[in-house]
A = this chain, B = another copy of it.
């Protein structure tokens, strides 16, 4: 399988691009993380989202610990070729490490306060087990 499609992407100085995960079917924006060339190649090859964890400095197969994997439906690229959009099916219905459906659960209200608009579906301590 040729990897020339990866050459179209304008990786930043760190070899990364932002990757937005959108839920297939609902259009909900689940999260944004980062991908390097290898993680995007693996995303396509495995059919599941693989990101680059900047904090841990390693490949991060989404759901490797929680089981909340993201099944790939499509890979899209923006006009400037420096942002990736993946359409995914979110296993377990939980994308966020806080146990919520998606990560954008805070909304600014008219008084300038961040209000939590989305519930915790599962206690994170029940998702992530000490290893």
Interface residues in chain A, defined as those with a beta carbon under 8 Å from any beta carbon in chain B = 1-5, 8, 18, 20, 22, 26-29, 31-32, 44, 74-80, 83, 85, 96-98, 100, 103-108, 112-114
| Chain multiplicity (copies) | 2
Contact check, A112 vs B2: say whether CB atoms are below 8 A apart.
Answer: yes
| Residues of chain B within 8 A of A98, CB atoms compared | 79
Contact check, A114 vs B77: say whether CB atoms are below 8 A apart.
Answer: yes
| Residues of chain B within 8 A of A20, CB atoms compared | 20, 29, 32
Which of B31, B32, B77 is close to A106, meaning CB atoms less than 8 Å apart? B77
A18 to B113: give the CA distance in the assembly, Å. 20
Residue of B with least CB distance to A3? B112
Taking the closest CB of chain B, its distance from the CB of A30, in whole angstroms, is: 10
- 29 example contacts (A-B, Cβ-Cβ < 8 A) are as follows A1-B112, A3-B112, A4-B112, A5-B108, A5-B113, A5-B114, A8-B114, A20-B32, A22-B29, A26-B27, A27-B27, A27-B28, A32-B83, A44-B108, A74-B107, A74-B108, A75-B107, A75-B108, A76-B105, A76-B106, A77-B107, A77-B114, A79-B96, A79-B97, A79-B105, A80-B103, A83-B103, A83-B104, A85-B104
